[in-house]
Amino acid sequence: MTAPPHLDIPFHRGLHGDRDAAAVREVLRSGHTGGGGAISERVEARLRTVLASRHALLVTSCTHAMEACVMAMGVGPGDEVIVPGFLYVSLAAAVARQGARPVFVDVEPVRLGLDPARVEEAIGPRTRAIFAVHYGGVPCRIDELLEIGARRGIPVLEDAAQAIGSLGSGGRPLGSLGLAGCLSFHESKNVSCGEGGAIVTSDETLARRIETIRDKGTNRAAAVRGEIPHYTWVSAGSSFTLSEIAAAVLETQLAELEHITRDRQRLMRRYAERLAPLAARFDLVLPAPPAEGERWNGHIFALLLPARIDRDAVVRAVRARGVQLAAHFQTLHDSPFMRSAWPGEPPALPVTARICAGIVRLPIYPSLTGAELDRVVDALEQALAAADPR
C-alpha cells in the first residue's frame, strides 16, 4: 500500500505559542482549573464587548451552545426548527436531541445561507425557531430572516460558529442579531482553545435559563451572586461549563482577534487576485466581496467547481503535490439518520446538493506565507487542467 504524500502545506495550522503556554501554566499554579473562575468572567466580559451583547456564556463547544439554546427555548417532541440544508451536523443533531425535527431548507447560491423565500414556504404550525448560519463568517441574509421571524412570531437564532470578528450590515457583529448566537472556539476556528464555545444574547430570560442548563440544571450561579442562600436542582441540564484552562488560552487568543482577522483578510484578497484567471478559465465561482458596511473575518476561502469537474479528483491530485484541500458539509436532509428517524421522501434542495458536490476549501491561516499561497494556487491550476474534460 502506498504511503500518503507528505503534506508541506496542511489545510489548517494552529496559532498557539508561548503566551498560551504561559497562561495555562498560571492556571495550573493557581489551583483553580474548573469552570466559572476569574478568567472565564474576563473572557465573557470581552465577548460581551466584541459581540455587543448583554450576556455571554462560555460553554464546552458550539454544539453544546446550540443544545443549550434549543433546551432553553423549550423545543421538544413534535416541534420543528428550520435549518439550512448546507450546514454541519451539530445544529441538526442539537434539534433532534430534543425530539424535534430539523426542517432543511435550501440555501441561496451566493452567501450559502438560508434562502428567505424558501424559509417562508417552510414555516408551519409546529415551527418553533429559525436557525440561521453564517457560513465561513459571511453574513447570510439575516435582515430578511429577522423580518420574517418578527412578522410570523418565530425567534431567529444564529449559528455564528465561524463568524467571530465578522460584521453584518451597519457594522453589527454576527451572532448578536437574533435572539441568541452560538460561537465556536474549536481548533480550526480563527480564535481557539482546542474545544470551546459561547452563547451570546441580550435576552435576560433566555440567558438565565441557559445559565441554569449549563450548570447541571441548578441555580448555582444565582447562589454565587448572593441572590439565594443555597442552590438546588431546578431544571433539566448538563455540564457545559468551560474549564479555566481552556478559558486562559481563549483569553490570549481573543487579545489577537483584530490581528488575526486582518491577516486572514489579506490572504483572502491575495487568493482572489491569484484565482481570478483560473475562475475565468475553469468557470469557478469565487467568494463574492463584502457589501458596504460589512466585514468578513476570512475564516474560509471556498470556491465552487463546475459540475463537469470531479471535485474529489481535484482534491486528490492537489494532495499528491503536498497541499491539502478540503471539501465540506455533506447533505443531511437525505442522510441515514434522517431517513430512519423521519421516513419519507426527503425534500429537494438543488442548490445545497450542488454546493455539497462541488465546494473546495483552500488552506487559510495567519502563518500561511505568500510563497505557500502561490504554491496552493499553482497546484490547484495543474489539478484543474488535468480534471477538466473540455
**Chain-centroid distance, C-alpha 94:** 14
**pTM for this model (two decimals):** 0.95
SS3 128: strand
Residue-averaged pLDDT of the chain: 96
Q: What is the pLDDT of residue 15?
A: 85
Residue 4 has pLDDT above 60, yes or no: no
Q: What is the pLDDT of residue 1?
A: 39
Question: Domain 18-254 belongs to what topology?
Answer: Aspartate Aminotransferase; domain 2 (3.40.640)
Mean pLDDT within 43-57? 98
What amino acid occupies position 145?
Answer: L
18-254 shares its CATH topology with 257-325+363-387 = no
User: What whole-number percentage of the chain has pLDDT above 90?
Assistant: 94
pLDDT in tens, 296-305: 999 999 999 9
What are the φ and ψ backbone dihedral angles of 59, each rounded to 5 degrees? -140, 175
Report DSSP state, residue 35: B
Q: What is the pLDDT of residue 2?
A: 46
Identify whether the C-beta of residue 189 lies closer than 8 Å to the C-beta of residue 164. Answer: yes
Residue 3 has pLDDT above 60, yes or no: no
Q: What is the pLDDT of residue 7?
A: 85
Please indicate whether residue 3 or residue 80 has the higher confidence score (pLDDT).
80
Q: What is the pLDDT of residue 6?
A: 74
What are the φ and ψ backbone dihedral angles of 262, each rounded to 5 degrees? -65, -40
Mean pLDDT within 90-96? 97
* Domain ranges, ordered by start, for the chain: 18-254, 257-325+363-387
The confidence band for 5, taking pLDDT boundaries of 50, 70 and 90, is low
Residue 86 has pLDDT above 70, yes or no: yes
Mean pLDDT within 372-383? 98
In the block, residue with C-alpha cell 430534543: 98
Distance CA 111, CA 288 (A): 8
Closest CA to 301 of 365, 257, 238, 219: 365
pLDDT in tens, 126-138: 999 999 999 999 9
Question: Domain 257-325+363-387 belongs to what topology?
Answer: Aspartate Aminotransferase, domain 1 (3.90.1150)
Mean pLDDT within 103-123? 97
The confidence band for 211, taking pLDDT boundaries of 50, 70 and 90, is very high
